[in-house]
A = this chain, B = another copy of it.
Amino acid sequence: MDAAEFRRRGKEMVDYVADYLENIEKRQVYPDVEPGYLRSLIPEEAPEEAESYEDVVKDIERVIMPGAASPACTELETVMLDWLGKMLKLPADFLAGTEGRGGGVIQGTASEATLIALLAARSKIIKLIQADHPDRSETDIISKLVAYSSDQAHSSVERAGLIAGVKMKKIPTDNKFSVRGDALQKVLEEDRAAGLIPFFFCATLGTTPSCAFDCITELGPICNAVEIWMHIDAAYAGSAFICPEFRPLLNGIEFADSFNFNPHKWLLVNFDCSAMWVKKRSDIIGAFKIEPLYLKHDHQESGNHSHWQIPLGRRFRSLKMWFVFRMYGLKGLQAYIRKHVGLAKEFESLVRADQRFEISADVVLGLVCFRLKGSNELNETLLKRINNARNIHLVPCQLAGKFVLRFAVCARTTESRHIQEAWCHISHLASELLQELPH
């Protein structure tokens, strides 16, 4: 949608809202649809090709309004997570369908998804142990629990451990910044020998520092064999898995208990929208469900996403997924991902063509980690000059003790000329800096 169409459609939507408010008393107070009404009104999968805005918006009255906020909000969300799960070719276990035991939910951020997965795993292991040892107290069990993540994992994973009150250990990564099976195995054996209870592993696909991928085809079987909950955090990288050429990065998903990525990061859905799937939704609901009379209703079985998350109130966030998926179509979304990856590769080539610089990690998706050959101090100074100039903005990281600059392609409107201009600017600042140094 270009700016001209946005102006037209935006104004039509303002009128729709005003009409709704002016005529609200003509509408029904409470919907008379039956739970599950929505699924049959829309296709089972996202469209391949883009649809027109007109086609999408006319479905508001046909599909959403009869179900008002409830149950439409929950039902559209369930179906949209199925659509998105199919785009990613998730195993069928993760889909809700009409009879599945799995399913998806929108969380606000990946931090919340990790915490929810950790809490569900904690609740599950406590029940499991207490089934055999009814006299063991919850706090006694919690004191022995230990969760794991990559030493490259996002700080929110460590924070989830802090909130849940369980030990969280970082598994060392290999020279590609990936957790491998043997590294996890080693720590598990040590911890079990020390009397601890390993119960949760958070794998990262696309780490924040360098977009590295933990080796889940090795890690998954290890976790499954000893009933450790494997959660996969693919906050940034997950969007790319809708492209067949990037889908192999998700191989091993079949071993996971839960999976999460953020369509708000790279799939054109506005913040916040973090998509999370679980194989057994009873695991997650069982951890949080408390139901007083004022929250009971006649259709308990139709599901209530409040039991899947920390807050109880919920916004109707699946509407924006529905609009985006239909207005781009799967092909449009794939093209968007490919364009960004192409632009990152273009930047990588420019860096590689300059002998003063080095690439610090494999460029797999839209992130390029690079630095000047030389000291950390030199690179810190370069970063400072880049960010002080305020033409572009870079966020650094540490990789194997080295201070590294991160160039991330992430804006909707980025084109080749922006990449070229950015490189030209960086290269110029680097030249100035290097000239100032004593030879």
**Could you list which residues of chain A lie within 8 angstroms of chain B, going by C-beta atoms?**
3, 6-7, 10-11, 14-15, 17-18, 21-22, 24, 28-30, 32, 108-109, 111-112, 115, 119, 122, 137-140, 142-143, 154-156, 158-159, 162-165, 208-209, 264, 271-272, 287-288, 290-295, 310-313, 315, 387, 390-393, 395-398, 406, 413
Contact = CB atoms under 8 A, between A and B. Distances in A.
Given A10-B14, A155-B295, A159-B288, A311 B143 contact: no
Contact of A119 (B14, B109, B163, B397): B163
A349 B125 CA distance: 54
24 contacts: A3-B21, A7-B14, A10-B11, A10-B18, A109-B311, A109-B312, A111-B311, A111-B313, A112-B311, A119-B163, A122-B165, A139-B143, A143-B143, A154-B292, A155-B291, A155-B312, A163-B163, A164-B165, A165-B165, A272-B315, A293-B396, A293-B397, A293-B398, A294-B396
A30 B24 CA distance: 43
A395 to B, nearest CB: 5
B138 A165 contact: yes
Contact of A393 (B30, B138, B209): B30
B163 A294 contact: no
A290 B142 contact: no
Contacts of A288: 159, 162-163
A111 B310 contact: yes
Contacts of A108: 108, 311, 313
A207 to B, nearest CB: 10
A111 B312 CA distance: 7
Given A24-B413, A137-B143, A165-B142, A3 B18 contact: yes
Nearest to A8: B14
A294 B143 contact: no
A329 to B, nearest CB: 22
A278 B172 CA distance: 38
Given A155-B295, A158-B290, A271 B315 contact: yes
Nearest to A22: B3
A17 B287 CA distance: 42
A258 to B, nearest CB: 17
Nearest to A157: B290
A416 to B, nearest CB: 15
A10 B3 CA distance: 16
Nearest to A209: B294
Nearest to A395: B294
A15 B22 contact: no
A290 B155 contact: yes
Contacts of A115: 310
Contacts of A111: 310-313
Contacts of A156: 312
A392 B29 contact: yes
A109 to B, nearest CB: 4
A112 B310 contact: yes
A137 to B, nearest CB: 7
A390 B29 contact: yes
Given A138-B165, A163-B310, 8 more contacts: A7-B15, A30-B387, A109-B312, A155-B292, A155-B295, A163-B163, A163-B164, A209-B294
Contacts of A208: 292, 294
Contacts of A294: 208-209, 395-397, 406
A393 B29 contact: yes
A327 to B, nearest CB: 16
Nearest to A30: B390
Given A11-B14, A119-B163, A163-B119, A390 B291 contact: no
